[in-house]
Amino acid sequence: MADTPPPAPAPKKKSTTRTPAGKRRHSLYIDDATAVALNDAAERVGRQLGGVVPKHRVLAAIIAAGIDQAGAVAGRLRAELLDTIGQ
C-alpha cells in the first residue's frame, strides 16, 4: 500500500462579525461574579436609557468610569495586599 498524504487542512472561515472602524474586540479573564455584575450593570444602564444606546457603548462608558477611579482602585488593592501579608 502506498502512503497517502494527510488531507489538506480545511481553509479558515472568514469571520462573519464585522469590527467597526475604531473598535477592537477584546477578551478579559475576570471572575464569574464580576462578569455577571458587569453585564447586569450594562443591562440596567441600557434600560434606564430606553434601550437606544448599544450595549458596547454602555460597557465602554462603565469601563471609562472605572478608569477614572484607577487611583482609588490601586489604594483598595494595596490595602488588601497589606492585609494579606499581615502589615
pTM over 0.85: no
Q: Which three cell numbers stand for residue 41?
A: 450593570
**pLDDT at position 1:** 56
| pLDDT computed for residue 23 by the predictor | 87
Question: Is-contact 61 42, C-beta < 8 A?
Answer: no
- Walk along the chain (87 residues) and give the pLDDT tens digit of each residue: 567 777 877 777 766 777 888 888 888 899 999 999 999 999 999 999 999 999 999 999 999 999 999 999 999 999 999 999 986
Residue 38 class from Cβ within 10 Å (0-12 exposed, 13-18 middle, 19+ buried)?
middle
For the chain, first and last CA: distance in Å?
A: 73
- The domain spans of the chain are 32-85
